[in-house]
Chain A
Amino acid sequence: MFSVNVLFYFFSAVLVFSAIMVIIASHSVFSLLFLVLSFLASAILLFILECEFLALIFIVVYVGAIAVLFLFAVMMLDAKLHNLTRNVFRYLPIGFLFAFGFLVPLLYQVFSNTKGNTHFFIRSRYVNWYDLIDSTSDVEVYSQILYSYFVLQFLIGGLILLVVLIGVVYMTNTYTSNKTVDQSTYKQLSVSSKFFY
């Protein structure tokens, strides 16, 4: 169980690090990429806690859809957001207020749940009792239900995605201009940017 805890601490550290980097990265694209990293780290934390389905949903929804959508929007807008970082100290108090507001109920939960327990929560040995009996994992249960009880609905969902795919290909395809969009290497390489400000 020791190794599991090491992994947990490691990814928690990654999560905290990337969450800080989201705030202090100079360019908004960098901070979004760190946001993706923090989502991935929290998904791995959920994996370690054996909530596989939730972890996968985290990756699919947050990383796959929302963060990529943000990334595209920021890249397409090409906004000059550098000036925002200048005001960071003006926004610090309100940030601390929110952080404190979230921290207090969290700590309250932690200490109230372990009140009767002799172990402190850091030293507690994490034993999943279901594993010791007989278990099917989270994803397995969901997939068994999905592929047996809801197989028809699953297929209809696939057909909906197919229709959307056909529609998107038709709507975005212009048959008149067959030029491929290529990037100029020089322009790409000559961009200089600071990681922090």
Chain B
Amino acid sequence: MVFSNLAELKTFNVFAEYFIAISALYILVVIVLITYNVHGLLVQKALSECIGLTLLLTCYLILNDDLLFNGGDFECFSILGFYKSVITDYFSFFTKFIVCLFAAFYFLVIADFLKEYRLTSFEYLLILLFAILGLMLLCSSNDLLTAYLAIELLSVSSYLLAGFRKTSSYSAEAGVKYLVTGAISSAFFLFGSSFMYAYSGSINLTDFWLIISNEGWFDINTNAGLLEPLFEIGLTFVVFSLFIKLALVPFHIWSLDVYEGSPTISTFFFAIIAKLSFFVFLVRLSYITASKYYEAWQFYAIVIALFSIFIGSFGGLRQRKLKTLLAYSSVSHMGYALLAFSVGSRFGTEMLLFYLTIYMLSGLGLWFVILATRVIRKRYTDKFSKELGDLILLKRSNPALAIAFTLTMFSIAGIPPLVGFFAKMGVFLSVLHAKYYFVGLLALLCSVVSTFYYIRIIKLLYFENLLVGKLYHPLISSKTILFSIVIFSLLFLFVNPALLYLTIYKTVLCSFGGDTLA
């Protein structure tokens, strides 16, 4: 793969991020100086919807960027800014748009549930906004240092989000566990970066690409052959640190406890919103700069993807805690995404983006139901943890919600009349396309196993042998519109997947140009 039409301009090409950062600082000043001091109000609902609106405006900003979308003409143009440390191309635009859109939906969804989960302080939402800023910076970073700082911004926010409920020891445990794992991941990243710097004398992805592709230029250094393994070692370390963040299998053990212990709204964020950007950087790093070291990462990626799918499918079978179950589900989904990534062709990248978008979409529906089924508790101080039993016989108390939840579950499992089928099929097609038949077969078998626990939840909703289910607080009607949009798009995208697929095709074609890697 190559950089097509690469240009370096001294332009200000982080406008969307700038907007978010300024809004966050403005919110901080206004709330601390005016709202808390003068009025002493709890503003979590209004603030959450305000941030949702801010992110929707950011989507609008991204869509109207003059640099790429000049007058509706379709031009493939990659622009480097800030001394080559930030790249602006279709890939970053698309992923930033997706992250912003889903984050906006996320903020609108959680607005009503913050009080229920006793997360009423405004710091929570502010830290979430900073985490999303980190995600967006990671999408467009073209530099190991920028990527590292973006990941740190995201993960420092994540530690706080995991340990935000001060009175709960589970939450504190989750925060500390996340902190320790995150520190190890950061150490791996920096260690690998130092090796890559030792080889190339630069931390810039474009420079890596130039050095690796133009052998002759680099032959001035007589030690080139000697130093060459250094780059592979460094790349492996950096990629592994990203795998830790993505909770892929040998590195996944933290995610189960962290997802279970942290507040449900934070778990929603970790599991759904915070995944896409890491894959974006992984694609930039592995496909573009290190395409020569194809064998160095592809083997590991395939093995780790298969392990993730296997553990994610079999680990969830006997799980009764809902959030741990969804953590296992998330592990297996990241495995499928990594499988599409490891193929190494343009088709694989398209399928990776398609899969992750659909994963975020159906995850939004899934977590909405989990937040919305608020079991009426006897005492205010009762436990917060969700179990599978909380959803028993949802059909009786709220048939519409039960139907919608069933559709979401079928989509995640990959049953045909829903778009999740196309997402999963795309991954398997890309694997077969690259002639990894055995890998495809194993992934397919594990996929069948994982369908068991998705369908078991549907069985709980409908066919449990009990007379009465649980009682729930009524749904908030304004938020059901959002949920309906999610369910509708799950159905609509099955009828017309080209809408999403063509956008992704265009994005990947434009950003990576060349045909295949190998």
Residues of B within 8 A of A153 (CB): 85, 143, 145-146, 149
- Contacting B at CB under 8 A, from A124-158, are 148-153, 155-157
B156 near A171 with CB under 8 A, answer no
- Contacting A at CB under 8 A, from B127-182, are 127, 130, 133, 137, 143, 145-146, 149-150, 152-153, 156-157, 159-160, 163-164, 166
B150 near A156 with CB under 8 A, answer yes
What separation, in Å, do the CA atoms of A149 and B149 have in the docked complex?
Answer: 15
- Distance (whole angstroms) from the CB of A170 to the closest CB of chain B: 4
Q: Among A148, A150, A155, A164, which residue has its beta carbon within 8 angstroms of that of B156?
A: A164
Residue contacts A-B, CB under 8 angstroms, 27 given: A148-B83, A150-B83, A150-B85, A150-B145, A152-B146, A153-B143, A153-B149, A155-B21, A156-B146, A156-B149, A156-B153, A159-B21, A159-B130, A160-B152, A160-B156, A162-B130, A163-B156, A163-B157, A164-B156, A166-B123, A166-B126, A167-B123, A167-B127, A167-B156, A167-B160, A169-B123, A170-B123
What separation, in Å, do the CA atoms of A167 and B175 have in the docked complex?
Answer: 12
What separation, in Å, do the CA atoms of A48 and B12 have in the docked complex?
Answer: 41
A156 near B130 with CB under 8 A, answer no
- Distance (whole angstroms) from the CB of B125 to the closest CB of chain A: 11
List the A residue with the shortest CB-CB distance to B82: A152
What separation, in Å, do the CA atoms of A156 and B145 have in the docked complex?
Answer: 11
User: Is B86 interfacial (CB 8 A cutoff)?
Assistant: yes
A157 near B149 with CB under 8 A, answer yes
User: Is B480 interfacial (CB 8 A cutoff)?
Assistant: no
B156 near A149 with CB under 8 A, answer no
Closest 4 CB pairs of A and B: A167-B160, A156-B149, A170-B123, A152-B82
Q: Among B86, B123, B159, which residue has its beta carbon within 8 angstroms of that of A152?
A: B86
Q: Among A150, A156, A157, A163, which residue has its beta carbon within 8 angstroms of that of B127?
A: A163
- Contacting B at CB under 8 A, from A149-197, are 149-153, 155-157, 159-160, 162-164, 166-167, 169-171
- Distance (whole angstroms) from the CB of B444 to the closest CB of chain A: 42
Residues of A within 8 A of B121 (CB): 170
- Distance (whole angstroms) from the CB of B447 to the closest CB of chain A: 38
- Distance (whole angstroms) from the CB of B293 to the closest CB of chain A: 26
- Distance (whole angstroms) from the CB of B273 to the closest CB of chain A: 17
B1-39 vs A, CB cutoff 8 Å, 1 = contact: the mask equals 000000000000010000001000000100000000000
Residues of B within 8 A of A155 (CB): 21
Residues of A within 8 A of B166 (CB): 171
B14 near A152 with CB under 8 A, answer yes
Residues of A within 8 A of B149 (CB): 153, 156-157, 160
- Distance (whole angstroms) from the CB of B211 to the closest CB of chain A: 19
- Distance (whole angstroms) from the CB of A77 to the closest CB of chain B: 21
- Distance (whole angstroms) from the CB of B197 to the closest CB of chain A: 15
Interface size on A, residues (CB 8 A): 19
What separation, in Å, do the CA atoms of A50 and B157 have in the docked complex?
Answer: 39
Residues of A within 8 A of B156 (CB): 160, 163-164, 167
What separation, in Å, do the CA atoms of A162 and B21 have in the docked complex?
Answer: 11
Besides the known contacts A153-B146, A156-B153, A163-B127, 4 further A-B residue pairs in the complex with CB atoms under 8 A apart: A155-B21, A166-B123, A170-B123, A170-B160
List the A residue with the shortest CB-CB distance to B163: A171
B354-381 vs A, CB cutoff 8 Å, 1 = contact: the mask equals 0000000000000000000000000000
What separation, in Å, do the CA atoms of A188 and B416 have in the docked complex?
Answer: 76
B82 near A163 with CB under 8 A, answer no
Residues of A within 8 A of B83 (CB): 148-150
What separation, in Å, do the CA atoms of A155 and B163 have in the docked complex?
Answer: 26
List the B residue with the shortest CB-CB distance to A156: B149
B75-93 vs A, CB cutoff 8 Å, 1 = contact: the mask equals 0000000110110000000
List the A residue with the shortest CB-CB distance to B18: A155
What separation, in Å, do the CA atoms of A151 and B83 have in the docked complex?
Answer: 10
Given contacts A164-B156, A166-B28, A167-B127, is CB(A159)–CB(B133) below 8 Å?
yes
A166 near B153 with CB under 8 A, answer no
What separation, in Å, do the CA atoms of A164 and B150 have in the docked complex?
Answer: 14
What separation, in Å, do the CA atoms of A157 and B149 have in the docked complex?
Answer: 7
Interface centre among A162, A164, A167, by most chain B C-beta atoms within 10 angstroms, is: A167
- Contacting A at CB under 8 A, from B255-308, are none
What separation, in Å, do the CA atoms of A105 and B160 have in the docked complex?
Answer: 48
What separation, in Å, do the CA atoms of A153 and B147 have in the docked complex?
Answer: 9
- Distance (whole angstroms) from the CB of A154 to the closest CB of chain B: 9
Residues of B within 8 A of A148 (CB): 83
List the A residue with the shortest CB-CB distance to B161: A167
Residues of B within 8 A of A159 (CB): 21, 130, 133, 153
- Distance (whole angstroms) from the CB of B152 to the closest CB of chain A: 6
Residues of B within 8 A of A166 (CB): 28, 123, 126-127, 160
What separation, in Å, do the CA atoms of A157 and B130 have in the docked complex?
Answer: 12
What separation, in Å, do the CA atoms of A159 and B83 have in the docked complex?
Answer: 20
Residues of B within 8 A of A156 (CB): 137, 146, 149-150, 153
